């Protein structure tokens, strides 16, 4: 056996695994869709984001706080860190809200459980105020680290809610058991509450205690809805197309399995397993 004949099976075994072929094909399709939605003008022109009630209420919520001379409170929850997609989406949301509160000269409070999130939020709010043309209205002390303990954080934010009585409360991020505690306190002081998270367990609490709730991926779409960032909108388009492809694949797979079983029955083979 020659050296080449010996080497070829080793190369094939090392560099190509037939069992991973579906993963490779799916990756190529996903990359192609992302590139298409990002760089295709026709894709951008045809794509429309449906109206989200919670987004349309943001302007009214901030305007209400301004008219009542009461602050706006925004908190990202206890369950996440700066690397979580929900936290990043909430930062895009925060930038839009900070720009509005800066323009209206409305106080914006931001308590958090994580010092890294606090630092990022300070920069986001500061930049938003400067972009709105009111850099002098930014107050660094309004962005605060309260506690890394879950219920210590919940108690601190509850205390802030009852003392300052904000007219509008935004609960957007990753929430766990503290979600109902915060939402009920905000409801008790009569604040307009807009909440959003990807936690299916906590969504039920937000739905019953808040005025508007962004369910799951609406939070990610909302960041693009507000910021109009082309890269975020392109990712939303790509996700929608991939979901459509997955749905079609599931339908085809079910039909193929059903037809296969019927064929076995017609040929007298009743063993389905």
Question: Which H/E stretch holds residue 202?
Answer: helix 200-209
Residue 29 included in any domain: no
Average pLDDT of the residues in 4-25:
66
**Residue of 265, 259, 230, 243 whose CA lies nearest to 44:** 230
Q: Given pLDDT bands bounded at 50, 70 and 90, which one contains residue 239?
A: confident
Instruction: Give whichever of 47-56, 74-83, 117-126, 223-232 has the largest mean pLDDT.
Output: 117-126
Of 37-46, 201-210, 238-247, which range is least confident?
37-46
For residue 175, the enclosing domain spans 53-227
Of 33-42, 152-161, 166-175, 188-197, which range is least confident?
33-42
**pLDDT for the residue numbered 99:** 92
Q: Given pLDDT bands bounded at 50, 70 and 90, which one contains residue 85?
A: confident
Q: Given pLDDT bands bounded at 50, 70 and 90, which one contains residue 125?
A: very high
Which residues, in sequence order, are CB contacts of 224 under 8 Å at separation 6+?
49, 92, 232, 233, 235, 236
Query: Helices 218-227 and 85-104 meet at what angle, rounded to 10?
Result: 40
**pLDDT for the residue numbered 271:** 47
Residue 67 included in any domain: yes
Proportion of the chain above pLDDT 90, given as a percent = 46
Q: Which two tokens stand for residue 239?
A: 């996700």
Total domains, the chain = 1
Residue 175 included in any domain: yes
Report the alpha-carbon distance of residue 111 to residue 134 in Å, rounded: 22
Residue 237 included in any domain: no
Q: Which two tokens stand for residue 23?
A: 């993963």
User: Residue-wise over 166-193: b if at least 16 C-beta within 10 A, else e?
Assistant: bbbbbbbbbbeebbbbbbebbeeeebbb
Residue 24 included in any domain: no
Residue 243 included in any domain: no
Residue 71 belongs to domain with CATH number: 3.40.50.1220
Average pLDDT of the residues in 83-105:
90
Q: Give me the chain's average pLDDT, please.
A: 85
Q: Which two tokens stand for residue 6?
A: 């010996």
Does the pLDDT value for residue 22 go beyond 80?
Answer: yes
**pLDDT for the residue numbered 148:** 92
- pTM of structure: 0.78
Q: Given pLDDT bands bounded at 50, 70 and 90, which one contains residue 157?
A: very high
Q: Residue for token digits 């019927």? A: 262
**pLDDT for the residue numbered 4:** 52
Q: Given pLDDT bands bounded at 50, 70 and 90, which one contains residue 79?
A: confident
Of 31-45, 98-112, 124-138, 253-267, which range is least confident?
253-267
Report the alpha-carbon distance of residue 33 to residue 45 in Å, rounded: 16
């Amino acid at each position: 056996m020659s050296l080449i004949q010996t080497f070829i099976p080793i190369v094939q075994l090392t560099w190509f695994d037939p069992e991973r072929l579906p993963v490779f094909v799916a990756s190529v399709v996903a990359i192609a869709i992302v590139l298409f939605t990002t760089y295709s003008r026709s894709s951008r022109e045809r794509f429309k984001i449906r109206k989200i009630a919670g987004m349309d209420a943001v302007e009214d919520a901030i305007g209400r706080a301004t008219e009542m001379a009461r602050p706006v409170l925004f908190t990202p929850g206890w369950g996440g860190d700066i690397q979580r997609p929900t936290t990043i989406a909430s930062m895009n949301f925060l930038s839009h809200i900070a720009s509005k509160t800066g323009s209206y000269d409305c106080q914006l409070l931001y308590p958090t459980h994580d010092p890294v999130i606090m630092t990022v939020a300070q920069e986001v709010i500061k930049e938003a105020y400067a972009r709105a043309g009111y850099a002098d209205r930014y107050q660094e002390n309004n962005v605060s680290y309260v506690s890394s303990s879950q219920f210590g954080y919940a108690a601190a934010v509850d205390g802030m809610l009852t003392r300052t009585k904000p007219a509008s409360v935004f609960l957007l991020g990753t929430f766990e058991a503290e979600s109902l505690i915060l939402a009920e306190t905000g409801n008790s002081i009569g604040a307009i509450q807009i909440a959003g998270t990807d936690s299916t367990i906590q969504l039920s609490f937000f739905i019953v205690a808040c005025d508007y709730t962004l369910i799951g991926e609406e939070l990610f779409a909302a960041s693009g809805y507000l910021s109009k960032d082309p890269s975020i909108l392109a990712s939303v388009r790509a996700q929608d197309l991939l979901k459509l492809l997955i749905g079609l694949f599931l339908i085809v797979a079910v039909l193929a399995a059903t037809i296969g079983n019927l064929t076995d029955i017609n040929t007298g083979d009743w063993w389905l397993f």
